[in-house]
Amino acid sequence: MTSSVSLDGGAYADAAPQLLDSLFYAVSHDLRSPLLTVSLSAQLLEHTLKDVQVDGADEALGGLRAACDDLERMLAAMNALSRASRRASEAIELDLATVHAGAPGATIVLDELTAAELQAVLPATVATSIEGTTASIRWAADGLDQSPLVALTGSLQAYAGGPVEALACLEIAIERHRGSLEVTDGEIVLRLPVTGARS
Amino acid sequence: MNGRTPIVIVEDDDGHRELIVQLLALVAPESSVLALGAEDRDDLANRAPFGALVLLDRRLGAIDSLDLIRPLRRARADLDVVAMSAFVTPEDRAACLASGASSVFQKPGDLNGWRAILMSLLDDDRGQPRAA
């Protein structure tokens, strides 16, 4: 007996985020083993050749090392994105000041890891406000002109391993808590639902 | 666990499996090593030597080997199953340990990292590690 699955446009659109996440997970894991084989083989070769003069060997091995490091950096970014959407995310109530000392008094809902990651990426100078049931934190985008997640998935080469990767992972984690992180008019704008505010 | 403990490697990537065998030859030259691929996973309980250290890749092709650990430990309590993976998150670690793996490690990207992990696994009863 055979079975088949057909995805019409709607079904595909519904499944796309999960498929994308599965792809990130599978690719980051599946490609790292052959990458490690190349990397470790180069190291074994380097060890074997250490007392032998071979023209061009240092350059070739150096090129291999650099390429492996680059691939490792990009695969780690894919794995980080996958983890941001899969990891345990138990929401707790926190004071907004937990993520930035200068923020007004308000209660937000985040998991502890996301709160810690947010605290780590926020610069010393931010603009914060509370409007209705939403807290906003804004800071300079430093040349980034699109969503960090869009930027990172558009070019792992340019952004993996840097601050855009950290922001892209936060974008995913924060959306899981019904917040948002976007880039508008040269600013990164973080919005978080507020469950209580103090004057 | 010591330098004579039989070792079973279950790894779907042929090149990587061969490299681990080479490293083990340096780190534990007196250990017998059985290298298996993903296709051997269902025969693991029959083929692993008594008291072996089993280094089990977390992903065997499209299979998540997490589901293999519990039945393997149930069938062969003498085996020490250690999970290895390309990336290990805290969630992965917890899941592997809950399934019966005695430890979990992320595959290192350098030879020294591999040596350190293999020596620590083989030196679990804290004798002197063998020189590489």
What is B74-111 written as a DSSP string? HH-TT-EEEEEESS--HHHHHHHHHTT-SEEEEPPSSH
Tokens of A50: 């250490």
pLDDT (0 to 100) of residue B8: 96
Quickly count: other Cβ atoms within 10 Å of residue A138's Cβ.
Answer: 17
Q: Which residue has the tokens 């498929």?
A: A19
Q: Does the pLDDT at position A1 exceed 70?
A: no
Q: Determine the residue among A32, A41, A64 to mutate to test chain B binding: the one whose Cβ has the most chain B Cβ atoms within 10 Å.
A: A32
Domain ranges of chain A: 9-86, 92-197
The 3-state DSSP class for residue B56 equals: strand
Q: Does the pLDDT at position A128 exceed 50?
A: yes
Give the chain B residue nearest A47 (alpha carbons): B111
Q: What is the pLDDT of residues A54-78, one digit of tens each?
A: 888 889 999 999 999 999 999 999 9
Q: Does the pLDDT at position A51 exceed 50?
A: yes
- CATH code for position B11: 3.40.50.2300
**Cα A134 off chain centre by:** 24
Looking at the partner chain, which of A32, A37, A75 has a beta carbon nearest the beta carbon of B19? Answer: A37
How many domains are contained in chain B?
A: 1
Tokens of A186: 């040269």
CA distance B50 to A158: 50
With respect to residue B2, please indicate whether it lies within any of the assigned structural domains: no
pLDDT (0 to 100) of residue A197: 58
| B 64-103: CB under 8 A from A | 85-87, 89-91
Quickly count: other Cβ atoms within 10 Å of residue A119's Cβ.
Answer: 12
Note whether B86 contacts A76, CB cutoff 8 Å: no
- Integer CA distances (angstroms), B1 to A97, B6, B120, in order: 50, 9, 10
With respect to residue B130, please indicate whether it lies within any of the assigned structural domains: no
Note whether B13 contacts A37, CB cutoff 8 Å: yes
Considering only CA atoms, which of A55, A66, A193 is closest in space to residue A133?
A193
Exposure class string for A73-101: b at 16+ Cβ within 10 A, else e: ebbbbbbbbbbbbebeeeeeebebebbbe
With respect to residue B54, please indicate whether it lies within any of the assigned structural domains: yes
Q: Does the pLDDT at position A185 exceed 50?
A: yes
pLDDT (0 to 100) of residue A189: 96
CA distance B46 to A112: 45
| Model pTM above 0.95 | no
Q: How large is the angle between the packed helices A57-86 and A9-48, nearest 10 degrees? A: 150
With respect to residue B128, please indicate whether it lies within any of the assigned structural domains: no
Confirm whether the ipTM is greater than 0.85: no
With respect to residue B127, please indicate whether it lies within any of the assigned structural domains: no
Q: Which residue has the tokens 């917040």?
A: A179
Q: Give me the phi and psi of B114, to 5 degrees please.
A: -65, -45
* Neighboring chain A residues of B19 at a CB cutoff of 8 Å: 36-37, 40-41, 44
Domain that holds residue B53: 7-122
The answer to whether residues B88 and B104 touch, using CB atoms and an 8 Å cutoff, is yes
The answer to whether residues B105 and B55 touch, using CB atoms and an 8 Å cutoff, is no
Note whether B111 contacts A40, CB cutoff 8 Å: yes
**What number is the average pLDDT over the span B84-92?**
89
Q: Say if domain A92-197 classifies as CATH 3.30.565.10.
A: yes
Quickly count: other Cβ atoms within 10 Å of residue B36's Cβ.
Answer: 21
pLDDT (0 to 100) of residue B9: 96
Q: Does B59 touch chain A (CB under 8 A)?
A: yes
Note whether B109 contacts A36, CB cutoff 8 Å: yes
Q: Does B13 touch chain A (CB under 8 A)?
A: yes
With respect to residue B66, please indicate whether it lies within any of the assigned structural domains: yes
Highest averaged pLDDT of the listed ranges A80-94, A120-134, A151-165, B118-132: A151-165
Note whether A29 contacts B57, CB cutoff 8 Å: no
CA distance A127 to A144: 18
